[in-house]
A and B are shown apart, each in its own frame.
Chain A
Amino acid sequence: MPDVEMVSVPTRILTTKDDIVDIVEKYTKGKIGENDVISVAESVVAITQGRIVRPEELKLTRVALFCCRFIPDQGSLASPHGMQSLMNVEGKWRVAFALFAGFLGKLVGQNGIFYKWGGEQTALIDDVTGTMPPFDKHIVYGPKNPQDVVKRLKERLGCFGAVIADVNDLKRSRIVGVTDGVDGSKVAHLLIDNPFGNASQKTPIVIIKNFKQYQR
């Protein structure tokens, strides 16, 4: 059985002018086979979808200014700008309610309620500094319709499957979108060492060679 292998694919910096499927096809031409899984970094998919905003463009509400104070210092929602960007897409009262419910949940030992009830973007938003330049000065949302994106990737590339992954150097690896037939948890495990690289490395695409055989 051939070994599973990770192939990082460097690209130029992708922007809102790019289509992620076209880009992945262009940069992986001749490198990807029918047994492989293509994985794409979540923030880069979001950037190509235009899902970014600069803090200076946000109109901060008092609710965002208030709520962000309850998020631990290191979190992307700890700044009023990160919190406001979340409220703009998920609704400010929904987020505020989820935060309050999360607080009550913690009192009785129930964690994660805020992220569960606050909307899918709650865990996906990256505040400034969270992405490579020139997007380090932007808040980057999670991708829109990730299931649709991975489906289009698989169809265009003719590979075994496709995933959108949220991975960082702190050993966090999460699958945001995955095609049918691919075990997302196995892909997440393979990506745990962050083959995308961090900060200024321009490798938003990783080909997982021979994943089909590995998964069996």
Chain B
Amino acid sequence: MEVLYVIAGILVLCVIAIKLFFIREGNAKVEVRVDQRTPFKMEELTKDSVTFSTKIEFANAGTQCATIMDCFVRAQLPYEQFDGVKVEGKAEWDQAPREDDYFESVLIQKKKSIYVLAKVKLTARKNGDIKETLTHMVDLPMDIIYLELGRRPWKLLKEHILLPNEEIAKIVGIELAED
């Protein structure tokens, strides 16, 4: 009987030791700091389109390496609300900008950060004049959607940001119409 107690004791000690090991090692903890994003700025302005961007920190506050396998910007502006512009969003790692809208998987080392540029392009759909169109613009909500891997199973997560119409008007240098 005593032997069984000894074996059970060893097993319990092993379980405790492993638990403590896991606690000590910790895990990745990605924080997408949308509340600390930079103000939107104008990347490009043409007669019929304008592109805005903001830089968002992806910080790994954890103690293990994390991987961002994909990231994209999903604009949430239905035509029921405003049909004057076509909206295209994209996300790119600021250290490796790409023109193909492909997000290359990137590692975030423990206690380090990467920065993702969230870009949104608005193209006038009706009159070919983006400045005129934007005088009627509404707030533009966007989701930052990303696929994260680490020591845990992969997860598809999202954060929400808003580009208010007042901010758009200020950046472009127009006045909003009284709709």
Residues on A close to B: CB < 8 A?
Answer: 55-56, 60, 65, 68-69, 73-74, 78-81, 128-129, 133-134, 136-137
A79 near B151 with CB under 8 A, answer yes
Picked from A56, A69, A73, A136, the residue with its CB within 8 Å of the CB of B65 is A73
Instruction: Report the separation of the CA atoms of residues A69 and B18 in the bound assembly, to the nearest whole angstrom.
Output: 10
Instruction: Report the separation of the CA atoms of residues A56 and B155 in the bound assembly, to the nearest whole angstrom.
Output: 9
Instruction: Report the separation of the CA atoms of residues A60 and B155 in the bound assembly, to the nearest whole angstrom.
Output: 13
- Does chain A have a CB within 8 A of B34? no
B67 near A79 with CB under 8 A, answer yes
Given known pairs A129-B107, A137-B70, the reply for A78 and B22 (CB within 8 Å) is: no
Chain A residues with CB under 8 A of B149: 55, 79, 81, 128
Interface centre among A79, A81, A133 (most CB of B within 10 A): A79
14 contacts between A and B (CB under 8 A): A55-B154, A56-B154, A60-B153, A68-B151, A69-B21, A69-B151, A73-B64, A73-B65, A79-B67, A79-B151, A81-B153, A129-B69, A136-B104, A136-B105
B105 near A134 with CB under 8 A, answer no
- Does chain A have a CB within 8 A of B25? yes
A73 near B22 with CB under 8 A, answer no
Measured CB to CB, the closest approach of chain B to A82, in angstroms, equals: 9
Instruction: Report the separation of the CA atoms of residues A79 and B67 in the bound assembly, to the nearest whole angstrom.
Output: 10
Picked from A68, A80, A128, A134, the residue with its CB within 8 Å of the CB of B67 is A128
Instruction: Report the separation of the CA atoms of residues A56 and B105 in the bound assembly, to the nearest whole angstrom.
Output: 14
Chain B residues with CB under 8 A of A56: 154
- Does chain A have a CB within 8 A of B150? yes
Main secondary structure of the interface of B (DSSP, over half): loop
A80 near B151 with CB under 8 A, answer yes
Chain B residues with CB under 8 A of A55: 69, 149, 154
Chain B residues with CB under 8 A of A80: 151-153
Instruction: Report the separation of the CA atoms of residues A60 and B152 in the bound assembly, to the nearest whole angstrom.
Output: 10
- Does chain A have a CB within 8 A of B16? no
Within 8 A of A (CB), among B152-168: 152-154
Within 8 A of A (CB), among B54-71: 64-65, 67, 69-70
Measured CB to CB, the closest approach of chain A to B144, in angstroms, equals: 18
Measured CB to CB, the closest approach of chain A to B47, in angstroms, equals: 34
Chain A residues with CB under 8 A of B67: 79, 128-129
B65 near A78 with CB under 8 A, answer yes
Within 8 A of A (CB), among B74-130: 102, 104-107, 110
The 9 closest A-B pairs by CB, nearest first: A136-B105, A129-B105, A73-B65, A128-B105, A55-B154, A73-B64, A133-B104, A60-B153, A137-B69
Instruction: Report the separation of the CA atoms of residues A136 and B98 in the bound assembly, to the nearest whole angstrom.
Output: 15
Contact with A along B3-24 (1 / 0, CB 8 A): 0000000000000000001100
Picked from B65, B102, B107, B154, the residue with its CB within 8 Å of the CB of A134 is B102
B70 near A81 with CB under 8 A, answer no
Chain A residues with CB under 8 A of B150: 79
Return the chain B residue nearest A84 by Cβ: B153
Return the chain A residue nearest B152 by Cβ: A80
Instruction: Report the separation of the CA atoms of residues A75 and B139 in the bound assembly, to the nearest whole angstrom.
Output: 44
Instruction: Report the separation of the CA atoms of residues A78 and B151 in the bound assembly, to the nearest whole angstrom.
Output: 7
